[in-house]
Chain A
Amino acid sequence: MRMIVTKLIQLVVVLLVVSFLSFMLINLLPGDPAEVIIPFGTPQARAQLRHDIGTDKPLPQQYAHWLNNVLHGNLGQDYQTHQQASTIIKQALPKSLQLLFYAEVLALLIAIPLGVFSAYRAGSVADRIANLTVFGLLSVPDFILLFLLTYYLGVKNRVFPVIYPTNTSGVSGWFKAWFLPAASLAAGQLAVYMRLLRTDMIATLQEDYITMAKSKGLTNGRILWRHALRPSSFSLLTATGLSVGALIGGAFIVEVIYSIPGMGLTLFNAISQRQYVLLQACVLVIAVGYVLINFVVDILYSVLDPRIRHARAAA
């Protein structure tokens, strides 16, 4: 419990710092932010902007003002689109979440059976082939995979859409629509997961209680799935959590190439079109999301994995 309280305090501090850094993004721009953000704006628009971000006030005061707005859900207005940054992000975030949900599920669906199997058959030819294959997958950048998949499965053979379709019909339509980008992202993830699971599983299978279970005559399947998998999946859980956090906005190359209007594309456009208020909002949301997910994973991990508890006790 004390650990959780300490972690919570840490979390708040980290969030404050992260928000301050996001806030500073605009102040770090060279020159007058008002000129940089709306280079062709009217004097009135610039005055409005200066007032909005309060460049005339001292920095701490600006930050407090901004933070107060953020806490009230006001991430600022984008001076180009005249839309609220929060509106744009509300539209973009679900797209990114769908993509990474799909990718993670796809990766786990393949990685878990493969990891369990190759740990069980560690050292066998099949294990080596599986290892080599995922090793290969690990080394293919996602964008290269997407180029190739799009060309062969989208253009040459029209199996899947080649850009994100605005409208999808039905469940199968949804699965098809997101398949290519999700698969491109999943390939590398599944390699990581499989290897992680395999390593932990091999260690688990060496434990005394597994030997005991074997001697009791339990079937291999039962031992693997019921007794060995769960204690072996903590690293996997952590890795999944972290990569979910990292992929919010971090999958921007895939989003740009596949025209997915998610956080990544929004971020990319915000940078290339100098929508700094939007950029700031995106960075804030992505970073805060990432911090929160890390926090949850951290807590879960310590709660679930006895090793950490024991280690902490020992320390």
Chain B
Amino acid sequence: MQHSARANRWSVRFLASVAALAVVAAACGGGSSNKSGSGSSGSNSGGTPVAGGSITYGLDAESPEGFCDTTAQLAAAGILENLAIFDTLTVPNEKGQMVPYLAQSVTPSPDYKTWTIKVRPNIKFQDGEPLDSNAVKANFEAYRKGPLFGFVFQNIVDERIVDPLTVAVDMKVPWIAFPSFLFGTGRVGIVAPNTLANPTSCSNHPVGTGPYMFKDWVVNDHMTVVKNPNYWRKDSAGRQLPYLDQITFRPIIDPVSRLNALKAGQLDLMMTDNGDTIFQARQAVNQGTLADVENQQSAEIGYTMLRVNKPPFDDQTAREAAAYAADRDELNQITNHGLNTLTNTPFAPDVFGYVKEPRQPPIKFDLNKAKQLVSQYKAAHGGKFEFTLSSTNDPTTIKLAQLLQSQWQAAGMTVHLRSADQGTLINQALGGDFQATLWRNHPGADPDTQYVWWHSGSPVNFGSINDPQIDHDLDEGRSATDPNTRKADYEDLQKVFGQKLYNLWSWYALWAFISKPTVHGINGPDLPDGGGKQGLVASVHPMVGLWVSK
């Protein structure tokens, strides 16, 4: 790929990643704690991969909508399952740059208004169809038609077939970070065109070009994929990929049960973002009984999302009061054993344009200041400072909500709690039916992927942020061909957030993939064109490299 846009994925994880169990958070300010690094630790190397064997992978949720990438709302678990079946056109490398994957090249026109995608030759879908420009075009059409991706790909005018392997995509405005959107946090897999027409079979019998083929799915029980013997990739030593014969995914909602099952040997590998679980797992890792790979690269941010066009948080004083009253160190300590890294900005350090402290001086927990701001607000608003904090109903998030409630009440606010399942919470957010809500979103390394979440008028700008400066930064950042302009835009964006406190950022979500010591290859094999391995993005890791040592 000629263009060297910084990595990222774009984010219509809409109901997807957002829906990946929203977390919470609180205010700005405060230094960060702890250094649970990004990238990998533990068992990932483990010598020479061997072929054969199978594993059982414990996930944190069922994918109730099935596995059709173009239409299904997928949470983190579903994205992982789909990465076994589908490949994306691009993937991030370890530096976070987007590199071609199913595509051989992804090339922009000089004005970035047309992108030319050429796919690798001789790749077949698992049902025998060839991967060609027709297939790519059909996929674009399907993604643009669907309710999830329609507005993310709104900038696309048309896609034209250039030759049997090449498609040209025309944009309304120049789109620098387009390759990031082709990865879409592992979400934009290329689906076999034959299955696109029938949503039922696409959901229940997904067919892609990926390393594994769908075998069976028993809802709430398991989903099994088996080795794709004709997979197009070999590892750098020439061995056929993938290594494993079979992966069985099991949704185990309860995090305590999931880790128990891994410890008891019923699972080989599991995912989690639960602080208690990661904490326990690390103890086992230190004893050598388990291994883990943790990731904070291109992390999602846990935060308190505010509805900024309704009282009380339409008032800057109220937002500042809430920020100063939240003791994030304590929240982190109690709910995550202090494992998460606090942040004062919505971008992870690897994101293009990252600014560590966009507000000077940074907001630090200061109860007296908070109390003062609360009385100031109350004086101006008839003596009341009252609101409801929404959250999902999983125990960890509820704990967080309770803690925040008690911290805010200590500063004189009246805080009610409301919890609901994730789907309901997202519905409420869409309908503007919230005042403050514990949320998690914004993974990925290119800030442009956050466009839809913050731009005024976007249907998923849940908090109704309407800030001309933010709109300007987002618009210019999307199209400016000069990297320095883009950088300045996104730095400015973070500063606006820092000043206005539209959201109260808490910390980077920490994902852990915990396994038996015999499971390796969570970071995947080397990329097909060399240049190291695929980079992990939030909860997304490649499935193609997993193997078990005997």
Q: Which residues of A contact B (CB under 8 A)?
A: 39-42, 80-83, 88, 91-92, 95, 150-151, 154-155, 158, 161-163, 165-166, 256-259, 261, 265-266, 269, 272-275
Contacts and interface: CB of A to CB of B under 8 A. Distances in A.
B403 interface: no
Interface stretch (B257-265, B299-307, B511-519): B257-265
A277 to B, nearest CB: 12
A154 B264 contact: yes
A163 B222 contact: no
Given A81-B219, A275-B64, A163 B423 contact: no
A261 B219 contact: yes
Given A81-B66, A256-B253, A162 B203 contact: no
A91 B252 CA distance: 17
Contact of A261 (B218, B248, B261): B218
Given A155-B260, A161-B266, A259-B253, A40 B73 contact: yes
B257 A155 contact: no
Most B C-beta atoms less than 10 A away, residue of A40, A165, A269: A40
B368 to A, nearest CB: 42
A80 B258 CA distance: 25
B204 A154 contact: no
A273 B423 contact: yes
B56 A266 contact: no
Main secondary structure, interface of A, reads loop
B147 A166 contact: no
- A-B complex: 6 closest residue pairs judged by Cβ atoms: A261-B221, A261-B220, A162-B260, A82-B203, A82-B200, A272-B421
Interface in B266-282: 266
Given A40-B15, A91-B219, A272-B421, A82 B66 contact: yes
Given A82-B200, A82-B204, A158 B264 contact: yes
A265 B219 CA distance: 10
5 contacts: A82-B199, A150-B257, A161-B264, A166-B250, A269-B220
B263 A269 contact: no
Contact of A80 (B64, B147, B221, B261): B64
A253 to B, nearest CB: 11
A81 B73 CA distance: 11
Contacts of A269: 62, 64, 220
Given A91-B218, A261-B219, A163 B64 contact: no
Given A83-B219, A162-B264, 7 more contacts: A80-B65, A82-B204, A95-B221, A163-B250, A166-B248, A261-B221, A274-B421
Contacts of A81: 64-66, 203-204, 219
A257 B251 CA distance: 12
B222 A166 contact: yes
A257 B254 CA distance: 7
Interface in B140-163: 146-148
B424 interface: yes
Nearest to B248: A166
Contact of B261 (A40, A82, A162): A162
B427 interface: yes
Contacts of A274: 421, 423-424
Contact of A40 (B62, B148, B254, B260): B148
B204 A92 contact: no
Nearest to B260: A162
A258 B421 contact: no
A258 B204 contact: no
Contacts of B258: 163
Nearest to B73: A40
Contacts of B146: 42
A40 B64 contact: no
Nearest to B56: A166
Interface string B184-205: 0000000000000001100110
A158 B265 contact: yes
A292 to B, nearest CB: 25
Contacts of A265: 220
A166 B421 contact: no
A165 B218 contact: no
A30 to B, nearest CB: 12
A274 to B, nearest CB: 5
- A91, A155, A162, A269 — which one has the most chain B CB atoms within 10 A of its CB? A162
Contact of B266 (A82, A95, A162, A273): A162
A49 B499 CA distance: 46
Contacts of B430: 39
A259 B254 contact: yes
B221 A91 contact: yes
B254 A39 contact: no
Nearest to A41: B147
Contacts of A165: 266
B266 A40 contact: no
A259 B64 contact: no
A163 B266 contact: yes
Contacts of A154: 260, 264
